[in-house]
Amino acid sequence: MVNNLEHIDTWHKLLDELCHHCGFSDNMSLAARYCELTSGRGQKHFDAALRNLNNWRAGRHLPRPRSARVLLRLLAIEGGSGLMAQWDRLYEQARAADGAMKHDPDETSPIVSEPKTKAVHGTAMLLALAGAGLFSIGVAVGIAWDTEWRPWRTEVDDAPLITYLPEVRLVVGQSRIIHGERGDCGRLPRDWRDVWGNLPSSRIGDFSDAGIVRRYSMFCKGVTPARGVRFTAKAPGTEEMYVVGDYMKITVVDEASLTIVTPEGNEVEFQP
C-alpha cells in the first residue's frame, strides 16, 4: 500500500502520513467517512469525530482500541502486512507511554480541618428564611431567563448575526465574514486555533478569526453562538471548497474588471 514509512517512529505521525496518502489532507472528509463507518449521524457525531481526528493526528490524544480498528478499515490497512505490524507496534508503544503518564502519582494538597461552629438558638428559623429567599430569587431568575431578558449583557448579545451563502464574490483586497462554526447549541464555540486547523488551503485568499458571531442553525432550531470565519481576497480566481463542513464557491475578481463598457460606449460599474 505505502512504501518507505519504516523511518516513522511515532504512531500519530504514521496515522497522519497514511491519511495524506489516502487523500485526507484535511479532517472534514475524514470525519465524514469515520461517521459513515461508525453509523454516526447528526452534527454532534460529526463534530466529535472531527475533534478526535484532529487530536489523534496531532498526537494530543490516543484513540481507544475500538476506534483504532475503525481507522484501520478507513485507511484500508491489510492484516498480516508489514505496515500492519508497524501500526500495532507503534500503537502499543503509545499506549504504554500514555498509561505510564496516567499512573504517575498525583500531588495532593494537605487537608485543612475547619473548626465546627456551635449551634445557636434560632438556626433552624434562619435556614428556613434563607431557603425561602433563595427559592424566590431562583423563580425570578428562571422567569427572566425564559423570556430572554437579561439584567446584563455578554459578548454574544452584541455579536453580529451572519448568514451562510454557498456562493460569495469578493474584490481583491476585500474582507468579509463568510461563515461561522457553532459549538453545542447555545454554548460558546471552539477557539480559533482549533477551527483554523480544519480549514482548507486557498490560493486566492486567507482565512482569519472573525471572533464570536451568531448564526442560525437548523440543528439547534434557532440562533446560536459561532466562531466567525473571515476570508480576505488576495488574488483573482474561483475556488470550490468546504468551509466548516458546508460547500462554498468563492470568486475573487480584480478591481479593474469592475468597470464594464457597454456597446453604447458607457462605463457601468459592476457590483460583486
Return the pLDDT at 264: 60
pLDDT at 173: 94
Per-position DSSP letters for the chain, written without gaps between them: ---S-TT--SHHHHHHHHHHHTT-SSHHHHHHHHHHHTT--SHHHHHHHHHHHHHHHHTSS---HHHHHHHHHHTTPPTTSHHHHHHHHHHHHHHHHHHHHHTSPPP-PPPPP-PPPPP-TTHHHHHHHHHHHHHHHHHHHHHHHHTT--SS--TTTTSPEE---SEEEEETT-EEEEEEEE-STTS----HHHHHTTSPP-SSEEEEEEEEEEEEETTTTEEEEEEEEEEEE-SSEEEEEEETTEEEEEEEE-GGGGEEE-TTS-EEEPP-
Three cell numbers written together for 229: 470565519
Size of the chain, expressed as the number of residues it contains: 272
Cβ-based neighbours of 111, under 8 Å, separated by 6 or more: none
The dihedrals phi and psi of 148, each to the nearest 5 degrees, come to 65, 20
Over the chain (272 residues), the average pLDDT of each successive run of 10 is 76 88 79 85 82 88 90 82 87 80 40 44 67 64 47 68 91 95 89 91 95 88 91 96 91 81 56 55
The backbone torsions φ and ψ at residue 149, rounded to the nearest 5 degrees and listed phi first, read -90, 140
pLDDT at 135: 66
In the prediction, which pLDDT does 238 show?
Answer: 96
Is the distance from CB of 90 to CB of 10 less than 8 angstroms?
Answer: yes
Cα three-residue angle 16-21-24, rounded to 5 degrees: 65
Q: End-to-end alpha-carbon separation of the chain, Å?
A: 47
Question: Taking the mean position of all CA atoms in its chain, how far away is CA 62?
Answer: 18
Write down the pTM of the prediction. 0.43
Q: Which three cell numbers stand for residue 163?
A: 448568514
| Per-residue pLDDT, 124 | 65
pLDDT at 145: 46
Distance (Å, whole) CA 242 – CA 28: 8
Distance CA 63, CA 67 (A): 6
| Cβ burial 13-45 (10 Å sphere, 16+ → b, else e) | ebbbebbeebebebbbebbbbbbeeeeeeeeee
